[in-house]
Every structure is written in C-alpha cells, then in structure tokens.
Chains A and B, each alone.
Chain A
Amino acid sequence: MQFYRFYLGSLKIVLKGNRVYWAWVGFLVLCIVVGTVGYLEQASGGLIVTHMRDPVSWGFYIGNFTFLVGVAAAAVILVIPAYLYQWKPIKEIVIFGELLAISAIVMCVLFVTVDIGRPDRVLHLVPVVGNLNFPSSLLAWDVLVLSLYGVLNFVIATHLLYCGFSRKAYHRAFVTPLVLFSIPAAVAIHTVTAFLYNGLPARPYWNSAILAPRFLASAFCSGPAIMIILLQFLRKYGGLDLKMDAIWKIAELMAYAMFINLFLFGAEVFREYYSGTHHLLFTEYLFTGIGEHNRLVPYAWLSIVLSVGAFVLFLVPATRKNLVTLNLGAIMIYGGVYIEKGIALVVPGFTPSVLGEIYEYSPSRVEVMVAVGVFGVGFLLFTFMAKVALRITQGEFHKDTHLGGPSRRTVEAEG
C-alpha cells in the first residue's frame, strides 16, 4: 500500500509545477509530437524517407545511439567516488547520474527501434520466443548488456528513492553489491558497443584496437558534461543542495579523461597518416574530404576545436573553477563528443563504401524530426524522475507528507 502511495505521490509531484516547469514540459511534448509525425511518415513510406542507402546503411539514428550509450555509461564516473571513497558531496547527486543513465538507456533503445526496418519483429530478439544469436552476434550482446544495465539502474534508483520516501536508511547489503556491479556493467555497455563496430574487418575505419578505449575516454567526458549543466539547472530551479566541491571534482576528472581521449585520437591519426595505406581514405574523407566530397569536413574540425578548447578550460584550475568558463567548457565537450561519437564515427566507416563508392550522407528532415522526438522522450522522462527525486532528497516528499491529500476513493480503498 505504501508503494502505491509512493507511486501516487510521485504522479502528483509530476503533475504540479510552476509556469517555467509547464513551459518546459510543453516544449518536450511538442518535440515528441514532431518525432511521432516523423516516425509515422517513416513507418508508412519505409526507411527510404531517411537519407540512408545501401552504401551508407547506418546514419544519424545509430550515431545518436552510440553517443547516448556513452552518456549512460558515464553515470559510473559519479558512482565510483561516491560509493568507493564515500565522498560525501558526490554521493548526494549520484542519484541524478543514475536517473540520467536510465533516460539515456531509454533513448538508446528508441534510437535502435526507429532504425530497424521491421520493428514489428522485435520479438525475434527475445531468447526462446525469438532467436537471439548469442554469443555470435555483438548486437545480441548489446541487447543483453543494455537491458541489464537499464534494469540495474532502475532498481538501484527506485530503491534509493523509495527508502528516502519511507524515511528509512537504504539496505547496504542490497545496494552496495548492485552498485559495485553497475561499475563493470557500465564499462561493459560501452565496450560491447565499441566492439560492435570494432569487430568488423570489412570496415577498416572501425577495425582498430583502440576504438573501445576511445569510446570509454570520450564517454567519461560527455556524460559528466551533461551532468554539470543539469545539476546547476536543478540547483537553480529545483533547489538542489549542491556543493561546488563536487562539480570541481567532476571537472577535474573530465580533464584527465579528455587528455586520454585526445592522446588516443592522436595515436590513431599518426598511424593513419604516416603509414598512408588505403585505410587512410576514411579519415581523409572526414578531415579533408575526397575530391568534391567534403560534407563532413567542417563538423570534423569543429569537433576537434571544441574538444581541445574544452580540455584547456578544464585543465587550468582558474577556468575550471569559474562557472562561466566551466559551463562553456561543458557545452564544448558535449558538442565535440556528440560529433565525434555520432556522425563522425558512423558515416566515415561507410565512406567510401566497401566497393569504393562515395555516397555523401547527411540526415534527412524525417531523421532529424524522429531524433528530436526521441530526445524529447528522454528529457521528459528525466524531468519527471528528477522532480520526484529532488523532493525526496530534500525531505519534502515522504510517507507522512500530505500532498493535497489522497483522493477520497483511495481512502475508501484503504479501508
């Protein structure tokens, strides 16, 4: 019964808010409507309404999926210091990292779903009912680890919040092993996603041993970058009790991660350009273009400028501890990694194609619409969950609170 009240109370919190809140929710609902309209168009016409074609058979959807797996994995950067070192300031905000991970996983699943040609056959991926090709297919691994990671974060976050609601201390014996397990699980989802590309000898651009380390390094930059901005939002609009020490710490960790990311990138660039084999073509397509085909070039350089710039901002303590430059750096990292792990990862892998064809891909109107919708769903989910979590962590929502009172019918049902 108490869980039902928790559920009902959460619903009430979500449905109450000021004008800023409703404007934000309205905006996200609008995004979802746009996405739905786009998806209906795609469902009736087929994926031909996208700009993907045989030579470039994955594009914007799978790029976003890859980026968001990184965001989901990065919840771990908050979890490690919070639980292993019992570092107090981070511990208070770790719940929001977990909620972000849940939202990111939901968006990942949606991006894959909108990308497949026959979503009506999605049950074929379910073991026993369908025919999951495990362990042979890395996509099968991805289905398993992503579901596991999603469930794990959902269980941990729900338990922590519900204990907060019940005004009880959470069960250490239950939470600690799960949290410890979520650390390798986070590494696993990103590694498996990297291996999904990495394991294809047909695509030299991806078939590099440092792809998985690069994935992890960039995820440890982009995930916390979103967190830094979200946490400040929550502090400003949601009254989150945020210690700036926690933010400085996250920013410092990001500087190290960005250094490793840039170093690995440099190692890759050296190998490609110095040996100058045919495999250089894909990197060339990205950074200089091949002949008149140079659609990705500006994005590629923008990504580098943003990443290097952000690295400098996060490295220097003065700019790291200045809110303006810190936020600028976070946005730059987000932008840099969004390009790097999205379009700049997927498209050059296919350009030129395995038969040397150059098809210049850029997302179509429908692809952008659908992506807007998916992000709308993710952000809306996060908004709702964070709103409830805020009230609980602030002690305003617990089993004895009177949230406008339970409805008459509930009282009768209880009796």
Chain B
Amino acid sequence: MKPDARRRSGRKATRRQFLKGALAAAVGGGLAGCDVTTREAFFHRRFKELSRAEKRDILERLERDYTEKYGSPFSVSADPAREGVLFAYALDLSRCVGCRRCVYACVRENNASRDPAVQWISVLELEKLKGVDIYDSNLYYSPEQVPREGHFYMPVACQQCRRPQCVTVCPVGATWQEPDGIVVVDYDWCIGCRYCMAACPYGARHFNWGAPHVDQEDMNRETHYLGNRPRYKGVVEKCTFCIQRVRRGRYPACVEICPVGARKFGNILDEKSEINYVIRNKRVFILKEEINTQPKFYYFYGI
C-alpha cells in the first residue's frame, strides 16, 4: 500500500471509530443485551457503500453465525455484477400450464420462510375469453388438474423494472438497482415501513410479518448477501432473479424447474443468448405498461 493511501485509510478508520463511539453513546445501553451480530449490523452502513474489507468482514461473520446456527458449512457470497451484463426474463404464456412448480422451487432455492409462508412468485389463473385481465384473476385456483378448460396461467414475480417505483419511494435507500439490472434489498438496512409494497404495481415485494422459519435440513447453504441468505423479522424481501446463481452463470431456479420450458432467461446484451432471440423473433408485451416502469420481464405467446 502506498503511504498516502495508508494514511487516508487510517484517518477513515479513526473517523469511523469516532462515529461508532458517538453512536454508541447516543444509543446507550440499549444494544447491550443484543448478540454480536445485531450489534455489529447496527453500526455498518448500506452494503453498497462498504469497502471491500468491510464487506469481507461482514460476510465472514455471517458465515460463522449461520454455520453455527444451521449446523453445516454456510457460504455467503457477494459476487458483484459483471461488466456488459443486463439480465432479462421472458415467459411463454402459451406454454405455462399453471403447475406452480416454479413457486416452490423458488421458495426452496431462496430460503423463503415456510411458516409464515412467503412466496415470491404468484401464479394467476385467467380466463381465455377475457385475456390478461388481472383484476379478474384467481390466485387461489386448486383444480384436480391443470390447466383448466378455458383458462390460461400467468406467473408474476418481480418485473425487475428499469424505472423501479420501489427504489424511488424507499425512504432510506435500502433497495436499489444493481448494474446488471437486478433490484435488491439490503436486509440489514430496511426499516420495514412497507412503502415499497404500496408502490409496487406487481405485488412483488413481501414482508416478514413474523419471524421467518426454515427447517435446518431445508436450508440452502449457497447464499448471496443481497439474495437468499436468511432474513429477519420485519424486513421486506423480493425476487432477485436468483442472484446467487445467475452471477455464477447458472439459471434461476424457476427456469430450471419449469416442466414445459416456458421460462427463458439470460443476458439481453449478449446477441447469442436465448433471451435475445426471444426479443428479436417473438412479439413480447410487458405488464401494466401504462405505469411506465419499463420491466425487464417480458411475456410472449410462443405458439
């Protein structure tokens, strides 16, 4: 390290120490009863503002905590967005049969709470005669077999808007759009005011009304800080295109599980990607286009 850089980082450290001290005095003994994790989370800034060293410390601490809590080795990564990547999604409405396998694959992959149940994908049952008429949809269909005669199905999750309303309204900047287009939530910064839930036109945001619960043996131990790591009571969460997978070149869990191949995903900037092919060769539409959220989640009729 250059002497100059070292001096600067040293000064930064003392200022941080001072701030920590001042804050500690302000908060008083209120945190004394909390465990180390809660106490440390209280003092660090938003994840995207942290230095590489601070991020590493936090990730290591989380891995230690989770490993202890869930019994076997736990990985918490913070893989950053890659240059030249913009993720997009397309869903073929002619193929979807409404089996909801994606819903449960998503829950398993992303460690969503089982009790109370949190699901990031909602599948709407729509009438063929009425077309995409969301206010006339049925979320709680349960026939013996799908698809039901005269109906079609429309899974809805986060539309990963280019102009995300949720990000605009968040009073503390706890949610933002990453360079690869994924809208993420910092679970350690969210205050749980739920303004984003009122603002989202797609019902994509979900709140931990109670303490989230996932059985130890069901826990997916490959996690991302901004994605599927265990959540807290009182914070908001949402679909991240399986950030822990897609930043390592894998498909989201919902794409993998879909038995009819209705789900397409990839880097829209890559001309050879499947998503790029769909955009070029199919006619796509987006949901609630009049709100001008400009989703990167497209629907199309493949057949």
A45 CA / B211 CA spacing, docked (Å): 7
- Residue in A53, A120, A138 with the greatest tally of chain B CB atoms within 10 Å: A120
Residue of B nearest to A202 (CB): B201
Of the listed stretches A301-309, A332-340, A351-359, A380-388, chain B binds A351-359
Asked whether A121 lies within 8 Å of B233 as measured between CB atoms, the reply is: no
Q: How many residues of A contact B (CB 8 A)?
A: 51
Within 8 A of A (CB), among B161-219: 165, 168-174, 189-195, 197-203, 205-211
A112 CA / B136 CA spacing, docked (Å): 33
B269 on interface, CB distance cutoff 8 Å: no
B residues less than 8 Å from A197 (CB atoms): 198
Which of B169, B189, B192, B234 is the one whose CB lies under 8 Å from A200?
A: B169
B residues less than 8 Å from A196 (CB atoms): 195
Asked whether B165 lies within 8 Å of A202 as measured between CB atoms, the reply is: yes
Asked whether B189 lies within 8 Å of A281 as measured between CB atoms, the reply is: no
Within 8 A of B (CB), among A33-59: 45-48, 50, 52-55, 57-58
Which of B135, B137, B173, B207 is the one whose CB lies under 8 Å from A117?
A: B207
Total number of residue pairs linking A and B with CB closer than 8 Å: 145
A322 CA / B189 CA spacing, docked (Å): 56
Residue of A nearest to B172 (CB): A124
Asked whether B172 lies within 8 Å of A132 as measured between CB atoms, the reply is: yes
A350 CA / B207 CA spacing, docked (Å): 15
B156 on interface, CB distance cutoff 8 Å: yes
Asked whether A139 lies within 8 Å of B171 as measured between CB atoms, the reply is: yes
Asked whether B210 lies within 8 Å of A131 as measured between CB atoms, the reply is: no
Which of B199, B210, B292 is the one whose CB lies under 8 Å from A45?
A: B210
B32 on interface, CB distance cutoff 8 Å: no
A residues less than 8 Å from B46 (CB atoms): 131
- Residue in B137, B195, B201, B236 with the greatest tally of chain A CB atoms within 10 Å: B195
Known contacts A133-B171, A356-B135; A117 and B191 CB within 8 A of each other: yes
Known contacts A132-B171, A137-B171; A117 and B189 CB within 8 A of each other: no
Asked whether B194 lies within 8 Å of A137 as measured between CB atoms, the reply is: no
What are 10 of the A-B contact pairs (CB < 8 Å)? A54-B197, A54-B207, A55-B203, A117-B191, A132-B172, A201-B201, A202-B288, A202-B291, A350-B198, A356-B124
> Beyond A124-B174, A200-B198, A355-B139: 9 further Cβ-contacts under 8 Å?
A117-B192, A118-B232, A118-B234, A121-B42, A132-B171, A137-B169, A137-B195, A196-B195, A356-B137
Q: Which residues does A use to contact B, with CB under 8 Å? A: 45-48, 50, 52-55, 57-58, 112, 115-125, 129-133, 136-140, 143, 196-197, 199-203, 278, 281, 349-350, 352-357
